[in-house]
Structure 1
């Protein structure tokens, strides 16, 4: 076989392997791009002998630069691929974390929407301005199927505890948000009993003051009492009324009511977790509109009692035993100095106004978003710490192979000069 008919082969001199390499297309392409003759075309017989030819220094330096560049690109890809994959997986989880497909609400007249336009105790969805309905609108829920509002006006914390235990367990397990509004009526009933008794004994005095007394309607008595507290012209009547009330006894019973509220709330949370309801629980504190009234010993003490209940709820939410995925919506602080706007106190009604319900809904939405962000961050950290074993093996193989290739290119490939 003549030299002219011999098979053309790309020959790369390698001082370590001492053999002819087969054609490497990407090196030929690289040669045309860089303008450097990093390899030569040689005519050899198919089984020609190896000739060791050292490359020019210029070509050797060029090869080292190219090798460093290839190694840098390879390592950059390896180290950046892991967080990119984690980001892709977490982005899909983020949508799931922030999604709310069902809500369960337990409480008294506040989540029931008492005092709002359209309120109907038999159909709580009619009070469209109540915060449970506002939440359902925000998350685009079907109120008839995805909003489960178990609230009833007048419920105490003990009543709400029974309501939680009597609710459908499957609904509680599948819901994405659980709201508990408990404790207000425990305090109101305790104070009310003492006040109603004193009010009855002073019926003639109230009549002379042109304040209507109707003992058949508790709402009328409540409105009369609120009017008394807010009207500075009735200060003398208020002083006699306060003297008639057994203040010390009332305060002691209020403190007992706070302890009972705390115990009932603990039992609610424990029961929900026991049956497998893992949704975030939002606990609303009882607010106190007494700062909008005349200040006296009883109203000041009631303000203090409300704040004490708030502290106990906050402490419970931060405890290791009951605080898992539990958030407290602080209405004592949130409503402070805003009672004229956020309640109907000017209409002699302590319930939240439409603006008050909007405030509560916004607070819950904000807290839910914070929980979603925290959970997403926790998942991302966990993914980085516990990467799948198969991915680790793949990256190790790619890394070793890349380093080996770069080493061969940097130190092994030598260019033959033309003969």
Structure 2
């Protein structure tokens, strides 16, 4: 009899144990981690952002030129951010893009997924809106890559006429750019909760200092473009003033001596530092899911309060009866003796 009662009690205890296993949980909670740099960043725009002219660059791959400022920051942040952050850098810049091309790319929806998942969106745009026109002027004037020209062949009246004609073309391009930068910022801000940054445009034509007509013209027009970028920033984006750090250093930081307006390796390092400083001034965060300690669920607490459907009470009763019966049996045995 004792064995039978003990077995029943043991079975009831086991049942309660099994019941209690279904009544516990390991809670999860979101933990926010602050960081100086963005876990996920997206680069957009033109050949400057794409890394044109650098070793390893191709038209179809922006990730294979380690000296581009986008890739410099990618490696830096990969090393800096913790593993649970999962740093991501996406570069969708396209060489040759004008501000109008960028609008089409954004409005096509092709960037929506990247934009929605980005903490920072960094844009380089405007160079192709202006600089191609200006380089065409230099070619027409016969200015070579040293900044010199053949004075015997140079006609000041023809040059003045060219500048007057080009002045109108550049002003039209600038007016269009002013409209486009508004659309670009609005379209980007509508598609991302990340911070949007737009870089100013450096002036590579300052290199041609022997021809002040060119340098004055270039400084005026590119200065106006940069003013538009800054004046439109209240729409919601931040300005990265690359132009300020390139001023007076075109020969050192670009390939303009080879008639190439793009930054060289040293120029990309400067841009990387400018972008990095702007990002760190903003600050970012990321969220992880962490597990807490095992605990009772609400149903578990109710079950225990109710005796897990009577099971706990039954166990207590069974154990109590068992103890009493053992005591009674012992008394009888003692009496019989």
TM-score range, shorter chain: 0.5 to 0.7
Q: How does 1:171-210 map to 2 (within 5 A)?
A: 171-192=114-135, 198=140
The answer to whether the aligner puts 1:116 opposite 2:54 as a matched pair is: yes
Deviation of residue 226 (structure 1)? 4.6
**Count of residue pairs brought into register by the alignment:** 248
Contact conserved, 2:55 with 2:65, CA < 8 A, in 1?
A: yes
Aligned residue for 1:297? 213
Cα–Cα, structure 1 residues 253 and 171, in superposed 2: closer, same or farther, change >3 Å?
same
Instruction: Give distance in 1, aligned partners of 2:152 and 2:47.
Output: 33
Q: Structure 1: which 5+ runs fail to align?
A: 1-91, 200-205, 207-224, 376-419
Contact conserved, 1:175 with 1:279, CA < 8 A, in 2?
A: yes
Instruction: Give distance in 2, aligned partners of 1:357 and 1:261.
Output: 24
Deviation of residue 179 (structure 1)? 1.2
Instruction: Give distance in 1, aligned partners of 2:130 and 2:89.
Output: 28
Cα–Cα, structure 1 residues 226 and 350, in superposed 2: closer, same or farther, change >3 Å?
farther
The answer to whether the aligner puts 1:163 opposite 2:105 as a matched pair is: yes
What RMSD over aligned residues (CA atoms) do the two structures have, in Å?
A: 2.8
* Greater mean deviation of Cα atoms: 331-340 or 187-196: 187-196
Instruction: Give distance in 1, aligned partners of 2:144 and 2:181.
Output: 29
Cα–Cα, structure 1 residues 168 and 156, in superposed 2: closer, same or farther, change >3 Å?
closer
Contact conserved, 1:180 with 1:282, CA < 8 A, in 2?
A: yes
Instruction: Give distance in 1, aligned partners of 2:196 and 2:226.
Output: 16
Aligned residue for 1:230? 147
Aligned residue for 2:163? 247
Deviations 1:305-344 (A, max 9, x none): 1011111111111x2xx1x2x2212222210111121112
Q: Structure 2: which 5+ runs fail to align?
A: 1-30, 286-337
Deviations 1:2-56 (A, max 9, x none): xxxxxxxxxxxxxxxxxxxxxxxxxxxxxxxxxxxxxxxxxxxxxxxxxxxxxxx
Deviations 1:380-406 (A, max 9, x none): xxxxxxxxxxxxxxxxxxxxxxxxxxx
Instruction: Give distance in 1, aligned partners of 2:125 and 2:189.
Output: 18
* Greater mean deviation of Cα atoms: 125-134 or 145-154: 145-154
Deviation of residue 189 (structure 1)? 3.3
The answer to whether the aligner puts 1:260 opposite 2:176 as a matched pair is: yes
Secondary structure at 1:139 match in 2: helix
**Structure with greater Cα Rg:** 1
Greater helix fraction, Structure 1 or Structure 2: 1
Greater strand fraction, Structure 1 or Structure 2: 2
> Greater RCO between the two (CA within 8 Å, min separation 6)?
2
- Segments of 4+ in structure 1 off by > 4 A? 192-196, 238-242
Contact conserved, 1:108 with 1:152, CA < 8 A, in 2?
A: yes
Match of 1:364 among 275, 291, 313: 275
Cα–Cα, structure 1 residues 101 and 241, in superposed 2: closer, same or farther, change >3 Å?
farther
Task: Give the TM-score of the pair, scaled to structure 2.
Answer: 0.66
Task: Give the TM-score of the pair, scaled to structure 1.
Answer: 0.54
